[in-house]
Structure 1
Amino acid sequence: MATVAAAAVAATAVTGLASTPASAQDTEVLAVDFAERTGEFRGGASGTLYGFGDEGAPTQAVINGAHITNSSQKAPYGTQHPSGDAIKIEDGFFDKHGEDLYIYVQDYYPDWPYNGGRRPGDDRAYDQADGTYTEEPNGVWDFLEVTEFVAEAVATGSDRPQDYVFIPYNEPDGGNWYPDWATQQEQFLADWQAAYEKIQEVWDRHGLGHARIGGPGDTRWQPERSADLLRFVKDHGSLPDVFIWHELGIDNLATYRQNFADYRALERELGIDPIPVNITEYGMLRDMGVPGQLVQWLAMFEDTKVDAQVAYWNYAGNLSDNSARPGGANAGWWMFKWYGDLAGSQTVAVTPPELNAVDTLQGIGAIDEANRRATVLFGGTGSDVTLDLSGLDRSVFGSRVDVEVREVALNGAEGLTDTPRVVTAANGVALDGGALSLDVPVYDRYAGYQVVITPDGARDVEADAAAQAWTASIEAEDMALTDAVVYTQDPQANGGWKFLASGGRDVGSFNKATSRAEFTVDVPEDGTYRLQVTGGAPGVPGRHALFVDGAAAGTIQYAADLALNANSRWQYRGSAEVLVDLAAGEHLLSIRSSEDGSTVLPNSDITLDKASLTSVATESTVYPAATFRLEDGASLDWASGGDRGSAALAGEGRADLYANAMETGYYDLHVDWSSVKASSVEVVVNGEPTAELTANRKGKWRSSATVHLVEGINEIELRSPDGATVRSLTTVRDRAADAAAVSIEAEDAVLLGSAAVTELADATGSNASGMAYVGWIGGGEANAIEIPRDGFAAPGDYDVTVYYANAELSGDHDYNPQVVDRLLQATEAGAEVGHAYFRYTYAWDSFFQRSFPVTLATADQPLRLGNPDAWAPNLDRIVISPRVIGDPTTARR
């Protein structure tokens, strides 16, 4: 077997040795046999429960990039949560990858457990026109009326009713109506039949054919209840179209496969053909946003070819804690994205050191023969990993292959996580009988890894990896600490009801004027560096002071994080970023709770998890064709030539890539492509046509356009109707171009109606610019702000970036904050030119940013921001940016 002598380009630990894993012990082996196929890639395990709030929460780029194929949402007009109505979010869900949209019918009720945990009787009379009711019996079971109203709403209000699945009962074995099977079995079976028939009746009424129904929806695998239900529904013609139960606990990582095998055995015993399965809730708090945990769940569900949805433990609209900020990625999102990238592949046999074990090395292997691309995803161990790869057929991959390994490490639920770096790369590795051995240094047991193997192509993968921006990172517990405490965060403590810390430990009790955390770093050159600190600000924004070599060097400003209860307070972590100029050489960086050593900064008692330092002198990221998602006939072209391994686009063929921006602003997009005749490449960014890159003859080209990207994930689509091959797209930060944007403090805008300025005391620790904001916007057309057209008078396409706060809650719940997504509408001369929903920011004095596109038709009419129907978010600052600066250029390369 050939052994890869890969170029190691991992980040350097700032207080330790280069490429030393944070917690590496003995090497573990993960064997992947690409010759042993296990079926078509299913891709359904990245489903979510209440992953969607209102339209655009999360953003469309985040949704599409995560490749969400199924989600369970609230019943239309339901009252269980303020947002998440299935019909209201269906356009975004079905935009690209959405397949099955599930409805929890009982979520029509406002309380949890539903109806106080008691099965309703005939106490109400519902108006089927609008779902309202009066407190009087009418001879019809109340829930049957609710079921009819919900089904009718989907049948008449959805554009795609056939793509819905109704779940009449959620956790009936728990606190929801039927916990005692011995005494309530007959009632449940009769109620199942009644709800099933009522939904089918509505579908028949509208000529929609067969309505799909899922159940029973138990809290766990319940063999006795499941057997009784299947016998009944087989005899009564009401078999579920999707069989549903939940796998939530830590131990389910060890027991799920047997539970699934027992279910399939039960079907065979009863003479029932296999029914599709959806595990509509899986994982604990500790698993969310953690790539090394998520991959263990994904591997199990993909192995058994079922759909599955991460559980909803906090609030709607953030993919169950698998996205960051309004439009960004956390580390868990990147694992979802990598998993979705396997669409169109066949999965292959993977042998971990131990199967059906909790918190262990697990992986997924897949091969896309059409594009000659093999992938391995893995994680779950703190040891270095040896990948024992075999079955790489010479007819597909040739005799030599390129290998790239990317790493994404835990960065907190709200931690903005950049495009995963290549940590190991190898050019043209000779295969030995289709096999090779690859050693991968592992940063941390919570990190996740993607390995991409392709034929030896034109691109020098080692050179691309070496050209990445310099970076270094350190765990907070490894810093030199003064008046702070290291805490161990056991991943199995509290039954999994906790959020995990990178490296398994963090630093807290940072509450004295003398508290500080320091580390030494040796930077390679003079320039600007981004310091990112991952930490937990408990429900309020806060600040730390940054010192470099003993001198004050700025403020680290944290936004608030979730602090609903002890499970989230100080453990739900986000990230703060600050730019600092450093000369080449060694420096001591100090994070302090005080600027003067005697007075603590506002809300400085913030948990520290880790810090990283990254050069932004030439902040660029290469997205090679080998990592593109190829749709509608697009494919990788491995024909001989200088662009071997590029994406071939023609006709409707499309390449999708998901570019991260650590800052909102301008980026030069460089597209390396070639054509055999005059042709063009069309670039669409975040759903908006952005640039057409043209060449008037045959050749190899580099085209460039200066484009506005927004903080977090940006969806970039490439098409070439006349035909082209795209080798790569590179984003390069262009800060000088930011001068084209116009920034205005909300308090300096024209205030209309009730809109009013609120000054913030410094003691709040707020991250509001100028320590003021404008509130009481909306709730009527008169209450708004207007921005004169100074500096952006030209008609055209713009991005509007709004710095805002929204901490509105509505209703009560045992453990879910009932967040309200507030709508902001932009108008010009009375006509709407754009709008967006703005998600929860945890506190009224904590501000996030959210961008949305507008197209302005005039040169002099002000841009008006408001909401005629409900309160808009509080506004701190607004930035208006032309979507593109100048004209694209094309030159030979």
Structure 2
Amino acid sequence: MSTPRTIAVLTTAAMLVCGLAAPAHAAGATLTVNIAQPFRPVTHAASGGLYGLAENSRPADSTLLPIKVNSLTQPAPGVGQRPNGQPPGGDSLLVSPQATRVGAGEFIRMPDIYPDFPYRWVSWNDWLAKVNTMVNARLSATAVSNVIGWELWNEPDYTWNTAAAGNFNDGWVRTFQAVRALDTLTPIVGPSTAVYNRSWMQSFLTTARNTGTLPDIICWHELSNPTRIAADIADYRNLESSLGISPRRISINEYAATSEVDVPGRIASYVAKLERGGVESAHRAFWYEYGTMNGLVVNNSQPTGTWWLYKWYGDMAGNMLTTSTTTTTGLDGFASYDGTRKIVNVVFGNEAGTNTVNLTGLQALGASVRVTLLSTPSNGRFTAVTAPTTVSATTRTVGNGQLSVSVPNMSATSAYQLLVEPASGVPAYQQRYEAENASVFRAARLSATSASGGGYVGRIDNTGTPRTDSYVDFVVNVPTARAYTMTVGYANGTGATATQGLAYNGGAWSTVSYPPTAGWGQFGATISATLTLKAGYNVIRLAKGSPYFAGGTGYAELDYIQLT
């Protein structure tokens, strides 16, 4: 639904959204954060965007690296789409170098080969010829390794021309088979409906199951009301199970309406519910212009108020924490705990007045903690916000692992960050980066009791093609430019030395070797390498296979890297 429409339609949709789901304004809501109940690794799942990037490195890398962009939905090669009267832009293959530099994967939205929205169907011969052209363009781009899915259509419940093209389910099968005839490896994404509708989804899934054309990644949009997200995901899971379909990965690759997308408090509610729902990825909706990461950046390099919410999200490390709220339409938030630095990071909003954040399970932080409260305003997509506002910074006593923080004078449109750290202080910069928190391409996040933080990355493989090669990109942030010792925690159960490629910031490849260890998923062994990093953000890649790297040997599982 957020793919370009006329402004009149956008305004009407936004008004409907506002009427259905206005934030609550009654004071006294409570958000509870349980540090003792992590529920999955930090992956920055909702830090993505539809048409977030434009050609010529817009917006600047410096604005993208801090927010840890998870993934993007970008237009097809040879894009014809002209959103809101703009020239075509954001070609997935042309923006791939920048997306790769910041650790982001890409879905390719195939119908954006058409110039108009809603798409104007021509004929099946025309469409299938376009499919062949797009897929072959991607196959020829052998240096592109960050494509994580083909999105076969967009919002078929709104844009599919049944009178001219026939039933969508049949069209899905035909398009799926055309893509698979050329590319048997890249995941397929769909059906990408404008809204979640059980009967529509049941019909689609039944046909896809019966024809062997099930998408690898199930996708729909959440543009009308964040309170629907939990119920929609639960309903989909029940439907999937009832049809005998194995669990699919879920992407909500458009979220938030025109009236919400630039409102940090409202976005806090979306991200909280998307994380809680366990989605693999979620992308901010596109309503306006290319090259701004959907309104997070102004003048190519300046952050808006909403950018700071995603910066706080990007700073999260370790594991996501269980959060709950006393209101269904107002206060909500998401949180993480970095056990290596003992930092609790809570981001919340969507409520006015005086509200409370209750934290439990804080025993590891000690009896005295430093509590810092920040806010970021809803100043729109064209106003730069150079820094968040520090609301308060206090030292508090923890009783029985519990702490209650009152947050007065909240604005429902602002977002807030609550940082809780040991009063004795934390390391000046993050030194340990868990592999499961990194950008993981075609490998698996797994768990083990011996792993640092309880998680690791395994099933790292290569087959000689950038469509299936496995690598892990670590986005790290260091205070000074100098040589660092990088220690890698790993496991190698093959009984022989394994190798992977190591490169950083797009530089030359070297090879790292992993001697055999006691077994798979049994961690404690380390190897070391020396890296010369620049001050600020760097991207470090460990790869079994990657463009310009001949390929690793054997197998190794990655636990963490540590920079000292």
Q: TM-score, normalised by structure 2?
A: 0.70
Q: Which residue of 2 aligns with 1:266?
A: 239
- The alpha carbon displacement at 1:24 in A equals 8.8
Higher alpha-carbon deviation: 418-427 or 325-334 = 418-427
- The alpha carbon displacement at 1:391 in A equals 0.9
Q: Which residue of 2 aligns with 1:574?
A: none
Distance 1:230 1:420, change over 3 A: same
Higher strand share: 1
Q: Map residues 219-234 of structure 1 onto 2, 5 A cutoff.
A: 219-234=194-209
Asked if 1:319 is matched to 2:293, the reply is yes
> Distance in 2 between the 1:654 and 1:102 partners?
21
SS at match of 1:296: helix
Partner residue of 1:165 out of 149, 168, 190: 149
List gaps (5 residues or longer) in structure 1: 1-22, 123-140, 205-209, 460-623, 636-651, 658-670, 674-678, 690-713, 720-893
Is the Cα contact below 8 Å between 1:196 and 1:238 reproduced in 2? yes
Q: Which residue of 1 aligns with 2:20?
A: none
Partner residue of 1:403 out of 371, 374, 378: 371
Is the Cα contact below 8 Å between 1:288 and 1:322 reproduced in 2? no
Q: Which residue of 1 aligns with 2:536?
A: 716
- The alpha carbon displacement at 1:371 in A equals 2.5
Distance 1:672 1:316, change over 3 A: closer
- The alpha carbon displacement at 1:188 in A equals 1.9
Partner residue of 1:121 out of 120, 123, 128: 123
Deviations 1:176-200 (A, max 9, x none): 324x8xx98x732222122112212
Partner residue of 2:130 out of 134, 146, 158: 146
Q: Which residue of 2 aligns with 1:107?
A: 112
- The alpha carbon displacement at 1:361 in A equals 0.8
Q: Which residue of 2 aligns with 1:457?
A: 424
Q: Which residue of 1 aligns with 2:465?
A: none
Q: Which residue of 2 aligns with 1:301?
A: 274
Is the Cα contact below 8 Å between 1:681 and 1:718 reproduced in 2? no
Is the Cα contact below 8 Å between 1:409 and 1:443 reproduced in 2? no
Q: Which residue of 2 aligns with 1:349?
A: 322
- The alpha carbon displacement at 1:256 in A equals 2.0
Partner residue of 1:444 out of 398, 401, 411: 411
Q: Which residue of 2 aligns with 1:18?
A: none
SS at match of 1:348: strand
Is the Cα contact below 8 Å between 2:63 and 2:301 reproduced in 1? yes
- The alpha carbon displacement at 1:629 in A equals 8.3
Deviations 1:193-234 (A, max 9, x none): 221122122125xxxxx2211111111012112111211222
- The alpha carbon displacement at 1:340 in A equals 2.0
Q: Which residue of 1 aligns with 2:346?
A: 376
| Percent of aligned pairs with the same amino acid | 24
- The alpha carbon displacement at 1:354 in A equals 1.2
Q: Which residue of 2 aligns with 1:57?
A: 58
Is the Cα contact below 8 Å between 2:195 and 2:220 reproduced in 1? yes
Higher alpha-carbon deviation: 296-305 or 429-438 = 429-438
Asked if 1:246 is matched to 2:221, the reply is yes
- The alpha carbon displacement at 1:240 in A equals 0.3
> Distance in 1 between the 2:476 and 2:252 partners?
31
Deviations 1:686-733 (A, max 9, x none): x899xxxxxxxxxxxxxxxxxxxxxxxx982489xxxxxxxxxxxxxx
> Distance in 2 between the 1:255 and 1:654 partners?
33
> Distance in 2 between the 1:215 and 1:257 partners?
19
Partner residue of 2:400 out of 433, 437, 442: 433
> Distance in 1 between the 2:233 and 2:283 partners?
16
- The alpha carbon displacement at 1:40 in A equals 2.2
RMSD: 3.0
Q: Map residues 429-508 of structure 1 onto 2, 5 A cutoff.
A: 429-458=396-425
> Distance in 1 between the 2:322 and 2:474 partners?
31
Distance 1:630 1:383, change over 3 A: farther
> Distance in 2 between the 1:105 and 1:45 partners?
22
> Distance in 2 between the 1:718 and 1:153 partners?
30
Deviations 1:638-692 (A, max 9, x none): xxxxxxxxxxxxxx998527xxxxxxxxxxxxx799xxxxx8789xxxx899xxx
> Distance in 2 between the 1:42 and 1:162 partners?
16
Q: Which residue of 2 aligns with 1:418?
A: 386
SS at match of 1:625: coil
Amino acid at match of 2:50: L
Amino acid at match of 1:716: G
Q: Which residue of 2 aligns with 1:79?
A: 80
SS at match of 1:48: strand
SS at match of 1:309: strand
> Distance in 2 between the 1:156 and 1:38 partners?
40
List gaps (5 residues or longer) in structure 2: 1-23, 83-87, 438-472, 486-504, 508-533, 540-564
- The alpha carbon displacement at 1:630 in A equals 5.6
Distance 1:67 1:283, change over 3 A: same
Partner residue of 2:428 out of 618, 625, 647: 625
Distance 1:629 1:288, change over 3 A: farther
> Distance in 1 between the 2:480 and 2:424 partners?
15
Which of these two proteins has the greater Rg computed from alpha carbons? 1
- The alpha carbon displacement at 1:315 in A equals 1.2
- The alpha carbon displacement at 1:147 in A equals 0.9
Deviations 1:758-792 (A, max 9, x none): xxxxxxxxxxxxxxxxxxxxxxxxxxxxxxxxxxx
Q: Which residue of 2 aligns with 1:191?
A: 171
Is the Cα contact below 8 Å between 1:372 and 1:455 reproduced in 2? yes
Q: Determine which structure has greater relative contact order: mean sequence separation of CA pairs < 8 Å that are 6+ residues apart, divided by chain length.
A: 2
- The alpha carbon displacement at 1:161 in A equals 4.5
Is the Cα contact below 8 Å between 1:220 and 1:245 reproduced in 2? yes
Amino acid at match of 2:300: P
> Distance in 2 between the 1:629 and 1:168 partners?
41
> Distance in 1 between the 2:231 and 2:474 partners?
42
Asked if 1:339 is matched to 2:313, the reply is yes
SS at match of 2:401: coil
> Distance in 1 between the 2:299 and 2:432 partners?
28
Is the Cα contact below 8 Å between 1:630 and 1:654 reproduced in 2? no
- The alpha carbon displacement at 1:38 in A equals 2.2
SS at match of 2:190: strand
> Distance in 2 between the 1:403 and 1:85 partners?
44
Is the Cα contact below 8 Å between 1:73 and 1:102 reproduced in 2? yes
SS at match of 1:257: helix
Is the Cα contact below 8 Å between 1:68 and 1:97 reproduced in 2? yes
> Distance in 2 between the 1:323 and 1:61 partners?
11
Higher helix share: 2
- The alpha carbon displacement at 1:173 in A equals 1.0
Amino acid at match of 1:332: T
Deviations 1:210-268 (A, max 9, x none): 2211111111012112111211222222110111111112xx22222111111010011
Distance 1:83 1:407, change over 3 A: same
Is the Cα contact below 8 Å between 2:173 and 2:213 reproduced in 1? yes
SS at match of 1:333: helix
> Distance in 2 between the 1:349 and 1:654 partners?
25
> Distance in 2 between the 1:253 and 1:654 partners?
29
Amino acid at match of 2:536: I
Distance 1:437 1:212, change over 3 A: same
Partner residue of 1:177 out of 158, 161, 176: 161
> Distance in 2 between the 1:213 and 1:688 partners?
28
Partner residue of 2:96 out of 90, 99, 105: 90
Is the Cα contact below 8 Å between 1:288 and 1:413 reproduced in 2? no
Deviations 1:839-868 (A, max 9, x none): xxxxxxxxxxxxxxxxxxxxxxxxxxxxxx
> Distance in 2 between the 1:24 and 1:321 partners?
26
Q: Which residue of 1 aligns with 2:210?
A: 235
> Distance in 2 between the 1:717 and 1:31 partners?
32
Distance 1:189 1:56, change over 3 A: same
Is the Cα contact below 8 Å between 2:345 and 2:418 reproduced in 1? yes
SS at match of 2:191: strand
